[in-house]
Amino acid sequence: MAAALTFSALAVSAVVVALVPLLVECGRSTTEAAWALSLGGDGKTLGCTLCARHR
């Protein structure tokens, strides 16, 4: 179980690190790429908040 969670965390981190360069390479501006990254963080924060309220 610990190994699965470790690999999951590594995969999520890899996506976060690679997102901005990937979007820039696909033709998006750095501003749009930064917005996409920040929206992902906002979504995670909102999801954690909603889950905490239902416990």
- Cα→Cα distances 35→6, 28, 29, 55, Å: 27, 11, 10, 31
- List per-residue pLDDT tens for the chain, 55 residues long: 899 999 998 998 888 889 999 999 999 999 999 999 888 888 888 888 888 887 6
Quickly tell me which residue has 């309220």 as its tokens.
53
What pLDDT score does 47 carry?
84
Instruction: Note the pTM of the prediction, 2 decimals.
Output: 0.64
What pLDDT score does 41 carry?
82
Residue 28 and residue 11 in contact, taking contact as beta carbons nearer than 8 Å: no
